[in-house]
Amino acid sequence: TAATDKGSLVHELLLGAGPGVEVIDAADWRTKAAQGQREEARKNGKTPVLMEAYLEAMETATKIREQLEGYGFTLDGASEVCVTWEETSTDGVVLCRCMMDNLKREHGVVLDLKTIRSAHPDTCARHAYEYGYDIQHAAYVAAMRALEPSLAGRESFTFLFCETEPPYAVTPARLSGEYRELGERRWQRAVELWGWCIKHNRW
């Protein structure tokens, strides 16, 4: 959809990394030529965007970056970092993988961007619950501990909820201790279930 395309585009512009953007020099998507270019871009794993929308997304990314800097957050770590590691379940080893938006490995700092319609704290909290961000937090912390065992217990994980429409509000959020504990339990349950499925070949 147009909304998801814009979210993906702004996300990529902020991080300076991702699958790539295909800018289509057309007024809209009505022509067959423009539609064909859009589908071709998607087949190649790129985000298709009209020129006007691209310029708008550039402005949006600039506004969001200014908001983030006002909170003291700069996306100057490594972006789109793929991490693979192993978890141990009762039924054997489980291979895990994640993609970190922005990582400062030597400091154990992870920043995770979430584009959202409203960055009101209540909305962000609801999204965290509905989309399982507690599980994501637990998985990413496990990944960090696999990367840098010496930093165990000192990791810093912050969600950055960013509006893609004016006023481009930003809400940085860290999970509470209780919610982190819930995420760790749900993550371990997922690891156990996956290990059991692999061992018994039942899904």
pLDDT per position as a tens digit, 48-66: 888 888 898 899 999 999 9
Strand partners, 99: 82
Structure confidence by residue, pLDDT tens digits, 106-158:
999 999 999 998 999 999 999 999 999 999 999 999 999 999 999 888 999 99
How confident is the model at residue 47, as a pLDDT?
A: 80
Judged against a pLDDT cut of 90, whether residue 21 lies above it is answered with no
pLDDT class of 188 with cuts at 50, 70, 90: very high
Instruction: Tell me which DSSP letter residue 151 carries.
Output: G
Average pLDDT score over the chain: 92
pLDDT class of 102 with cuts at 50, 70, 90: very high
Extract the tokens encoding 152.
């165990």
Judged against a pLDDT cut of 90, whether residue 19 lies above it is answered with no
DSSP 3-state of 21: strand
- Among 19-28, 36-45, 75-84, 114-123, whose mean pLDDT is lowest? 19-28
Write down the pTM of the prediction: 0.85
Judged against a pLDDT cut of 90, whether residue 18 lies above it is answered with no
- Residue at 19: amino acid letter: P
